[in-house]
Structure 1
């Protein structure tokens, strides 16, 4: 009999559960009513994957607690990560859930829980630039000046297609660290980063002498969702029920502000020129008509 120690969260308490894997399959996590949900999630080895996991796990446990579910959280360690690969990993049952930026393909292959985990802030983009270029963007009022410049995005990020569809010149690369080095080296002119991540990334790459533009913000509808397998109805419904309860009682916003309130205050979004972009990747099912799900400065 082979034993595995699993870090467990069950109704808010931290426990350790010893699971006998002989005759028991953790891959069968589409559990019946009355059984504890066994939820496997990815733990990523590279720096990109380590920037926000605590936030997502805190929201996940909050949702499951609000839904009144018994559950076990089981980490699955990955040596590398691409979002497109993670879509297939969830679909094939390598793990049960992942948090990802949505697009039409992902919503077709997997089942999204359509409650935006950043309340849309993933689509509020500040421009990371080289120190010394701060005045270059000071008088910008629309996208036209950016169309003459080059930017960089992840090879399989939905944001790459969003920026390209709005007429911007995007260089795609699979290497997260390399994007910041490309900016530093002058191969691109700016790097749009979400308000919830730009300040931390500037700190991580402090040796590259990068700055954050203080004048404009690119804004487009965008959502990070929890994604599960299409047939994992119980898990999807429990998470949605719990997230909506947390939004209603204010606990969702308390988690959001605990993690990102300082960044939002620093960004001064209501003092910036807001340049709105279209997002052709959003599906008709996106709950844009529900203002309680979206951040407004």
Structure 2
């Protein structure tokens, strides 16, 4: 396990907005994926706290499987993690949701990573029923909420138990239980660049209401109002929109969402 640790306090402009009696620092132990997928969420977290002049220290724990991260959050070994907002998590008394979405719903807009030789198969798809008739199997990580959305639509699903990056070679091989990967518009092009054996399907955009949110351990529930205030301030001031644009704007533009055929999927992750 790689542990990345550093501390930060608000920059001068944000500090000027802080109350005259300095706020006590909050201490965060944050679980994040080991690749670059977490970069936006880290920037949003830290810059939101800086925006309200809230001192903090933060340690990032990486190279942990998602299931282990959630288990550690439930035990309080880490006290902050981000993931898909679901009713199941909302009911979990061991974790505390921050009720502010993090991607403005972008994670619920999905395009497909496919094998190049399958492009003609997807060229005939105009609906969920058409996709189902292909018999092709979508790949997700084990326990991912998105897999439930695909299943609810009657689509075949494979849930990958091993570390996520190994699924790309499996899908490319064409004989390993998985045929394509539905990926969020904020992640798919980076993954395509990293895994050139797969290509981005060019016609379709699958949509369902979904977003990521931060979750606290129950032991860190006292931080909930502070973090929610920081995230809401990031929304109100345009900070979140700017970070989304800086992090994902070029890729979203390159995907040409407005020209794609929109295919709605029923329901949000549960």
Interval of TM-score (by shorter of Structure 1 and Structure 2): 0.7 to 0.9
Q: Which blocks of at least 5 consecutive residues in structure 1 are unaligned?
A: 14-32, 283-297
- Cα distance in 1 between the residues matched to 2:254 and 2:110: 14
CA distance 1:127–1:259, shift in 2 (3 Å): same
> Does residue 1:91 correspond to 2:74, yes or no?
yes
- Cα distance in 1 between the residues matched to 2:86 and 2:49: 25
- Cα distance in 2 between the residues matched to 1:177 and 1:6: 25
Instruction: String of CA shifts for 1:49-90, please: whole Å, max 9, x gaps.
Output: 3132221111001221223311111233x44312x3322211
> Does residue 1:155 correspond to 2:142, yes or no?
yes
Map of 2:48 onto structure 1: 63
Q: Which has a greater percent of helix?
A: 2
- Cα distance in 1 between the residues matched to 2:63 and 2:192: 24
- Cα distance in 2 between the residues matched to 1:266 and 1:213: 13
Q: 2:210, 2:268 within 8 Å by CA — same for their partners in 1?
A: no
Match among 78, 85, 93 for residue 102 of structure 1? 85
5 Å matches for 1:172-183? 172-175=159-162, 176-183=164-171
What is the count of residue pairs matched by the alignment? 251
Instruction: String of CA shifts for 1:137-176, please: whole Å, max 9, x gaps.
Output: 2242210122132111111111111111110000111221
Structure 1 residue 231: Cα displacement: 5.0
Runs of 4+ residues over 6 Å off in structure 1: none
SS of equivalent to 2:202? coil
- Cα distance in 2 between the residues matched to 1:146 and 1:277: 12
> Does residue 1:241 correspond to 2:229, yes or no?
yes
- Cα distance in 2 between the residues matched to 1:199 and 1:280: 24
TM-score (norm 2): 0.86
- Greater CA deviation, 194-203 or 133-142? 133-142
Q: Pairwise CA RMSD of aligned residues?
A: 2.0
- Cα distance in 1 between the residues matched to 2:75 and 2:216: 11
SS of equivalent to 2:236? helix
- Cα distance in 2 between the residues matched to 1:248 and 1:234: 23
Map of 2:16 onto structure 1: none
CA distance 1:94–1:12, shift in 2 (3 Å): farther
Match among 242, 247, 250 for residue 259 of structure 1? 247
TM-score (norm 1): 0.79
- Cα distance in 2 between the residues matched to 1:258 and 1:102: 23
CA distance 1:90–1:160, shift in 2 (3 Å): same
Match among 162, 184, 207 for residue 172 of structure 2? 184
Match among 21, 24, 36 for residue 25 of structure 2? 36
- Cα distance in 2 between the residues matched to 1:140 and 1:267: 18
SS of equivalent to 1:232? helix
Map of 1:288 onto structure 2: none
- Cα distance in 1 between the residues matched to 2:45 and 2:144: 23
